[in-house]
Amino acid sequence: MKRDTICVQGGYRPKNGEPRQIPIIQSTTFKYDTSEDMGKLFDLEASGYFYTRLQNPTNDAVAAKICELEGGTAAMLTSSGQAANFYAVFNIANCGDHVVASAEIYGGTYNLFAVTMKKMGIEFTFVPVDATEEELNAAFRPNTKAVFGETIANPALSVLDIERFAKAAHAHGVPLIVDNTFATPINCRPFEWGADIVTHSTTKYMDGHGAALGGCIVDSGKFDWNRYAEKFPGLCSPDASYHGITYTERFGKEGAFITKATAQLMRDFGSMQSPQNAFLLNLGLESLHVRMKKHCENGQKVAEYLSGHPRVSWVRYCGLKGDKYHKLAEKYLPNGSCGVVSFGVKGGRKAAEAFMKHLKVASIVTHVADARTCCLHPASATHRQMSDEELVAAGITPELVRFSCGLEDAEDLIADIDHAFRAIAEER
């Protein structure tokens, strides 16, 4: 089926007389006739539900829809995008391991990698998103287990050259993990370009209404773990906590990654998405294809307006012809990128903050990729833990405003921006 149809109907096929809408299975636990039946589930010998910390039917239906949208073989929901990225990496990298990541990534992910996972003994090397093949190859070590990047970086809005990153990852026998939050599978399917694992903060466009926090991990099923079995003992050798089953043997390369992440990481860390949130997420997914078009249309109009504005020092939006990432966007995002535009306000940090406080249609929120237009000053919010040098490496400057175009009329958004610029001009 085509993407639009999957958005509406994917993941859940009711049988005769069953509810048309995905039911919310609001139950922590599931009943069995015998202890033997239940034992089989605990041994991963049978598939089924026993406790919502591991799996829940509502969540599975919604994960299956996202899996179909991305063209993967298996998927799981998590309680947030943070949990998705943590699980995706920690599922294959242990204490003493190393990961190569693009420097232009979401601030929360940067903290997770550079601070928290470092404490767990996992080292990250951050490479420029524009790194050449040689620079990329030089970042690898014998203990490197994965490469990580974002299709469209939040908030730097650079476009990842997925093929180049995938090539480098595969040359070193490791998978490429791509956070596809901003593009969504409507505008880019990273698996088609060589990515192996895709992650999402479903909190953003997928939900799209600022209603429910969530995340998702999808496996392409293409990475041949067994070929590099010595690098991935967690997937390719017996798991003592499940009577010595080997994930790649039992579930194949199509199912090993997600089964291990569910059976071990979800079991032990418990970052489950609530079935209520999965239901809300599915409502968002039903209109994702319709909404993404409008977000992109508004993003393009606002970016074009800003690029002609005398109080704007620069605009970053890959839909603009002159944009540094326009060529990559034509390749990877031919139908549009997203609704988020970054730009610099002349006058630096102070002017950026002053501009934002005069906006009336757009509101200042941490959130992004929402039906309502929202904006943020990353240097004083999401990225405030970073030093000036780290900010520059992450593609964020003090005057940067992240403007996330919602689903309103573009003329109202432009009038709002125009009004805010006039107001700061009067203040001077």
Ligand X SMILES: *Cc1c(COP(=O)(O)O)cnc(C)c1O
If the CB atoms of residues 109 and 274 are measured against ligand X, the closer one turns out to be 109
Nearest distance from C-beta of residue 217 to ligand X, angstroms: 12
Neighbour order of strands in the sheet with 312-316: 312-316, 340-345, 400-404, 374-376, 363-364
Nearest distance from C-beta of residue 301 to ligand X, angstroms: 22
d(CA 117, CA 123): 8
If the CB atoms of residues 138 and 364 are measured against ligand X, the closer one turns out to be 364
386 Cβ contact partners less than 8 Å away, ≥ 6 residues apart: 107, 110, 394, 396
Binding mask 162-191 for ligand X (x = CB under 6 A): -----------------x-x----------
For residue 39, what are its two tokens?
């034992």
Binding mask 359-378 for ligand X (x = CB under 6 A): --------------------
DSSP state of 100: E
CA torsion, ordered 415, 418, 419, 423, to nearest 10 deg? 180
For residue 330, give the 3-state DSSP assignment: helix
Nearest distance from C-beta of residue 204 to ligand X, angstroms: 6
Nearest distance from C-beta of residue 148 to ligand X, angstroms: 11
| Contact flag: residue 80 with ligand X (CB under 6 A) | yes
415 Cβ contact partners less than 8 Å away, ≥ 6 residues apart: 361
| Contact flag: residue 404 with ligand X (CB under 6 A) | no
Nearest distance from C-beta of residue 121 to ligand X, angstroms: 22
d(CA 176, CA 416): 40
Reference 67, options 231, 181, 199, 160; nearest CA is 199
Transcribe 202-232 into DSSP letters. TTTTTT-SS----EEEEE-S---GGGGTTT-
Residues 190-229 that bind ligand X (CB under 6 A): 201, 203-204, 213, 215
Size of the site for ligand X (CB under 6 A): 16
If the CB atoms of residues 84 and 420 are measured against ligand X, the closer one turns out to be 84
If the CB atoms of residues 150 and 323 are measured against ligand X, the closer one turns out to be 150
N- to C-terminal Cα separation, the chain: 57
DSSP state of 318: T
If the CB atoms of residues 201 and 337 are measured against ligand X, the closer one turns out to be 201
For residue 412, what are its two tokens?
């109202």
Nearest distance from C-beta of residue 150 to ligand X, angstroms: 5
Q: Which of 30, 32, 42, 108 binds ligand X (CB under 6 A)?
A: 108
Binding mask 140-159 for ligand X (x = CB under 6 A): ----------x---x-----
Q: How far is CA 271 from the centre of its chain?
A: 16
Nearest distance from C-beta of residue 284 to ligand X, angstroms: 13
Nearest distance from C-beta of residue 274 to ligand X, angstroms: 14
β-pairing, 374-376 vs 400-404, is: antiparallel
Q: Which of 10, 11, 72, 81 binds ligand X (CB under 6 A)?
A: 81
Which range in 105-113, 259-267, 372-380, 384-392 contacts ligand X by CB under 6 A?
Answer: 105-113
For residue 56, what are its two tokens?
């829940």
Nearest distance from C-beta of residue 215 to ligand X, angstroms: 5
If the CB atoms of residues 58 and 82 are measured against ligand X, the closer one turns out to be 82
d(CA 356, CA 424): 10
If the CB atoms of residues 71 and 108 are measured against ligand X, the closer one turns out to be 108
Q: Which of 82, 91, 220, 259 binds ligand X (CB under 6 A)?
A: 82
Binding residues for ligand X, per CB under 6 A?
80-82, 85, 106, 108-109, 150, 154, 179, 181, 201, 203-204, 213, 215
